[in-house]
A and B are shown apart, each in its own frame.
Chain A
């Protein structure tokens, strides 16, 4: 027996589930009779349901060959799916006996004989990978992931699961549309900035013109509008020249600018005819015909605005003004100007990155206003109606504004419609208008626009026709050869290149412009199976083969960057240096330090620990926890993201995930925990408080994600979470869960929360699993549903003590962490498995077990340093080899 095998068995034994009997189980004596009684009638010589014949298997000699089948048997038995309900059922003891025998046999496998690369189903890029790849191909900071429906999270628990990444149904259309629109903007980024002026008299309206003043501006339905054809998508500066000439005592004249019937900005107009205002807003326009409208709006102004002098009488020299039909307030529009596509953000322009820090109360109100749809009002009305019905009172259509207020709408909006503030009059004021109300005035855009500077397309358009004797066809070929090689992550073949150039050459023959002709071939590259998939071809046999250097570079780069390899990595692959482990290790270090590795350091922990679901499918009750805001979600996710990223970058021990004396907080979370005194949005390293502790179990992201009940903590689901996510052990789901009494855990309950659980656990069929998970979950009871520290619940002190079935006792979260620390090798084994699954994009098979174990040995040797794990995975046999078949052929 080899040394590896000895060590391996030792580890498996300590990682094993508790075995009831230590006695050796004999197949012929103990197991076969049981199988004969319950299984052989359907899965034996007489009948082979599902083509399974257990009777024919020689479990003594060929256990390994049928390893997968036996694993399935164990799963079916454990989940009680088999035998079928209508058949006689084995006793619990018999089920356990089989389970233990299977485990014992697994331990006796001679793993040194097992070596197989495994098969990774033809890897399609996940949407994150697709977005990153396009970003790096075009060297343009774009994020496209949200333009696709969510990728399936596969059996591995990760969205990199290649089994579930395919192109079916409407997805191809999406690839075409997204790539086409991105390329449009990219290819035409060299297009000049144009300015178009449209006079107000050329606007259309569905209202009758006024003989003297021109067109009237109505509300949204009767807005004046015009159409503008955008040649090149991008950001545009939209300017409206406007002024007001009459105002009432109570209102200001305002306008709302709409693009394609969606509000872009809104403002009061306080400039005058002599000193008109250029009201500007940044808008994103896509190629094609765009509708631009200006609608009247009424604005309740601040006191300062009301105290402004009255505007002078207007002079209407021609029919190019538009005015508000309300006789008491009036403003005029002279023209609009549309300038773009912008290469740089104009100075003074207001953008919104979508972060709270950019927000003002007024802006928040505007956003809410946008979402205030007619149906929403109807829904609110319905709610009020059903409420009235339930209370047995006649429903009276309430003042809609009261309903809005009740619905939690920002009072700013409600006031805007409801309360009319009347400031003192200023009839004879002749002061000049302050400058801030005239001239260029940038408006806050309604929707959150994040300005991305225009890309530089020179690194893609590496050749220009006409220089020297370069023909258009040749220039296109030079461009495509380089682009497709980067996109395909290898040298593109001549045949492929000719195919890709097809659309371009057709367009060139038709006399189309050079750049847009090339664009069609760039598009062909981006929907090619060689780009959307990462094919790893090889000989047609079913043996293990070493990856080509290009394939290895590609696997490495999709593991650590979730994107295409860069020039340096490609070069190392091209000249064959990458097969040298030293070179490979240096590349890993370099890649981890690059900010592109953020995708990996975010996606891996988010999907492994599940906290990407926060604010998505995990929504604690908004009634009980109104403090669960977007801002808090952002902070919770940020803490764990940052912690994990620093763990990797600083090469810290992975055991920090179990317990640590530091964490990373921003202002929101610092206040939420009551720890540290952090200001601002950035996450800073902060020492943890001794009682509260560190590691992922001290993080609000994990504590909220793992506690599935919307209104209180759920120790059961937290305990289950620890087993599943930290130890990698999935318990069968109970067929039925009698719920706790409703008042459990509240102040009115006679029993404490914990006592009601004990009651719940008396049922012996429940106890088997609950004695394993409940103590773990109760050990975290000091953290409330949102991960805040507490010492009492419903007035009673927290009892965070527990004893695990394996005997370890603890009395507080910190002691629980100490217990988990003692089991760190089990947890580390799981982390190795999880990261291997993420990196390979496939489920682990039995032949991967020796690899997992040898990585654990390396980890222990190196103090569990995070980079050791990443290096060992990259150096491992399955990462560097490929096979066409999933199943190993050996005896």
Chain B
């Protein structure tokens, strides 16, 4: 065989890769062709949830707060984005250490609404979707359903979307005008029938029909916006170029790492194209016996490793490795956000990311010293690049209140907050 008959393996493989998801990461740095938007880039809120806490000895940061601090082993991946992160020490959930359900239930929530929903209520009306919820693990049954979701609206959990394909379609499916008009006339009927029905049912059922009415109006608003794009407050990123779009994902990747990256890419796309400004991603379900075997040295599942305290067992090593993986995903999202130009500054400059878990040490389901990192600059309203040390026992709700305030929600109190963070 002569040398030239041999097709370069790389070329063949590149061919394969191109037909399959994610060449858009390469296209991301491509120069802009679209005219820059006239408005200022909006501020986005991302919430990344890590279940089962983190190994305290490798999470906790030694020493005092401030700029000169040393990142702990689990936080190590954040070294090259340290100017954009602020780990917070000593936040306390205040809940008695019981099982996972009540702890995860209140992680983002007070009085029935989680902060992502509250923020979406404040800033979500400008975009096609007020919020987008993402996840990689299917909902768990029964009482454990709570462990599969952290977002709450009127006390009800809202399940995240697992199918990358569905998320993709929601973001990029085009609706022709005929279809929009049809949907609008159909929804008029629906609203009318819903109102009539609501008058006939009892108090307990009316609530559900009210929710349906709200839903109908939300969809109508969105349809109107498609018909009148000039009225849209949507931000057009100067760096967005339709050719940056990845192909439609085919199915749920079978590798958790790949699935997670794909969902984070979709979050990024949703922010970039201003399809939404609020997005929550659950890396996994709380208290779930599911493995991380793709990580080196990990044999047990996340939940089992979180109960690491046994003489002779090396579970804390695995617990650390899994925590480390989660922080790597945070970094990965931040790095990608940094590559997106929004007219002199980057998407990361205009985002606020909340990364954390509902428990401190998973071993005893500790409610104190929660692993929490805030990242991004929220359009200048948030100054990262330091380690914030609050006094021990500071309410976790203080942090949530500060987050709400940074994102423009004018709240004075949240849950059991005693004030805001010392930002």
Contact = CB atoms under 8 A, between A and B. Distances in A.
Interface of A: 79-81, 84-85, 119, 121-122, 124, 147, 149-150, 152-155, 157, 164, 166-173, 176-177, 180, 219-221, 248-251, 256, 258, 260-263, 295-298, 326, 328, 369-377, 379, 382-383, 386-387, 390, 400-401, 417-418, 420, 422, 447, 495-496, 499-500, 502-503, 506, 520, 523-524, 527-530, 532-533, 535, 537, 540, 542, 607, 610, 612-613, 616-619, 621-623, 708-711, 733-742, 884-886
Contact of B301 (A607, A710, A734): A710
Interface residues of B, number: 109
B193 to A, nearest CB: 5
A711 to B, nearest CB: 7
Given A176-B183, A418-B9, A735-B97, 19 more contacts: A81-B98, A122-B209, A152-B157, A170-B170, A248-B5, A295-B15, A295-B19, A298-B7, A326-B7, A390-B297, A503-B186, A533-B197, A535-B200, A618-B289, A709-B304, A733-B99, A734-B99, A739-B310, A739-B313
A124 B211 CA distance: 12
Contacts of A167: 208, 211-212, 215
Interface stretch (B50-58, B230-238, B250-258, B388-396): B250-258
Interface string B169-203: 01001000001001101111110111011001111
A767 to B, nearest CB: 19
Q: List the 5 shortest-distance A-B pairs measured between CB atoms, nearest first.
A: A219-B15, A884-B202, A122-B205, A733-B99, A220-B19
A250 B1 contact: yes
Interface string B383-410: 0000000000000000000000000000
B283 to A, nearest CB: 14
A390 B192 CA distance: 65
B161 A176 contact: no
A153 B190 contact: no
B305 to A, nearest CB: 9
B296 interface: yes
B88 to A, nearest CB: 24
Contact of B137 (A219, A528, A617): A617
Contacts of A884: 202-204
Contacts of B310: 738-742
A36 B182 CA distance: 65
B344 interface: no
A64 to B, nearest CB: 22
B21 A610 contact: no
Given A157-B141, A387-B296, A619-B290, A535 B201 contact: yes
Interface string B154-169: 0011111110001000
A149 B247 contact: no
A152 B139 contact: yes
A710 B129 contact: no
B255 to A, nearest CB: 6
Contacts of A496: 193
B150 to A, nearest CB: 14
A725 B242 CA distance: 52
Contacts of A495: 196
Contact of A373 (B216, B253, B294): B253
Contact of B6 (A420, A612, A616, A709): A420
B229 interface: no
B18 interface: yes
A168 B138 contact: no
Contact of B254 (A170, A172, A371, A709): A371
B13 interface: yes
16 contacts: A150-B138, A168-B211, A172-B219, A180-B179, A180-B183, A219-B12, A374-B17, A375-B262, A382-B257, A417-B12, A520-B182, A520-B185, A607-B141, A617-B285, A623-B299, A884-B202
A18 to B, nearest CB: 24
B247 A369 contact: no
B158 A168 contact: yes
Contacts of B257: 379, 382
B202 A500 contact: no
Which of B185, B189, B201, B307 has the most chain A CB atoms closer than 10 A to its own CB? B189
A261 B216 CA distance: 34
A286 to B, nearest CB: 10
B300 interface: yes
B153 interface: yes
A298 B12 contact: yes
A162 B143 CA distance: 15
B307 A373 contact: no
A444 to B, nearest CB: 16
Contacts of B363: 736
A358 to B, nearest CB: 17
Interface in B344-386: 363-365
Contact of B96 (A85, A147, A180, A540): A85
Contact of B138 (A263, A371, A616): A616
A535 B194 CA distance: 11
Kindly name the residue among A296, A298, A607, A742 whose own CB sees the greatest number of chain B CB atoms within 10 A.
A742
B189 A503 contact: yes
B189 A524 contact: yes
B16 interface: yes
Contacts of B314: 742
A447 B189 contact: no
Nearest to A619: B290
Contacts of B7: 251, 298, 326
Contacts of B251: 371
B415 to A, nearest CB: 16
Given A172-B215, A219-B15, A149 B140 contact: no
B1 A249 contact: yes
A742 B315 contact: yes
Contact of A529 (B96, B193, B296, B312): B193
B143 A499 contact: no
B261 A401 contact: no
B333 interface: no
B291 A710 contact: yes
Most buried by A among B15, B173, B203: B15
A712 to B, nearest CB: 10
B186 A523 contact: yes
B142 interface: yes
A520 B186 contact: yes
Contacts of A616: 138
Q: Which of B97, B161, B202 has the most CB of A within 10 A?
A: B202
Contacts of B248: 260-262
Given A166-B208, A537-B201, A617-B285, A79 B98 contact: yes
A16 to B, nearest CB: 23
A124 B208 CA distance: 9
B215 A376 contact: no
B42 to A, nearest CB: 20
Contacts of A169: 153, 158, 215
A293 to B, nearest CB: 9
Given A256-B19, A884-B202, A884-B204, A249 B5 contact: yes
B79 interface: no
B22 interface: yes
Contacts of B219: 172-173, 176
A369 B365 CA distance: 42
Nearest to B202: A884
A617 B307 contact: no
A121 B310 CA distance: 47
B11 interface: yes
B262 A621 contact: no
Interface string B272-289: 000000000000010011
